[in-house]
Amino acid sequence: LRILLVEDTADNRVLVRAYLKATPWEVDVADNGAVGVAKFTTAGPWDLVLMDMEMPVMDGYSATRAIRRWERERGHPPTPVIALTAYALDEEMQKSLDAGCDAHLSKPIKKNALLEAIAAHTTPPA
């Protein structure tokens, strides 16, 4: 799998990469939504995006909407986007889904929850 991790906090990037280190998956990082959208649209295709929702420059809501718009304009099938946020409230989960995310994980991210969410939203390569 090719995974794009869009996360502004270095500690969270290190944590997610550590969780995925033992997997055969390739993980690329963007430190804000604008960089994430640029990488998504130029360095793809991606199998999954892990999107922090609260970032400077461009937040995850705007970045996810931009990714969905880019996919629609080109007739690409939607790439799974999993929201990563410090907010566990139902309203925040709905806000992520409304922006185009497929799932929502609350921080601090737990390894098993992350691996289960990735498995649930991807098809392993043949």
Q: What is the pLDDT of residues 73-126, one digit of tens each?
A: 999 999 999 999 887 677 888 999 999 999 999 989 999 999 999 999 997 654
As given in the structure block, the two tokens for residue 2 are 């090719």
Q: What is the pLDDT of residues 19-56, one digit of tens each?
A: 999 999 999 999 999 999 999 999 989 999 999 999 99
Predicted confidence band of residue 1 (pLDDT cuts 50, 70, 90):
very high
As given in the structure block, the two tokens for residue 53 are 């929702």
What pTM was computed for the model? 0.94
Please report the beta strands in 1-126, taking only residues with DSSP state E, as ranges in sequence order. 2-6, 26-30, 48-52, 81-85, 103-106
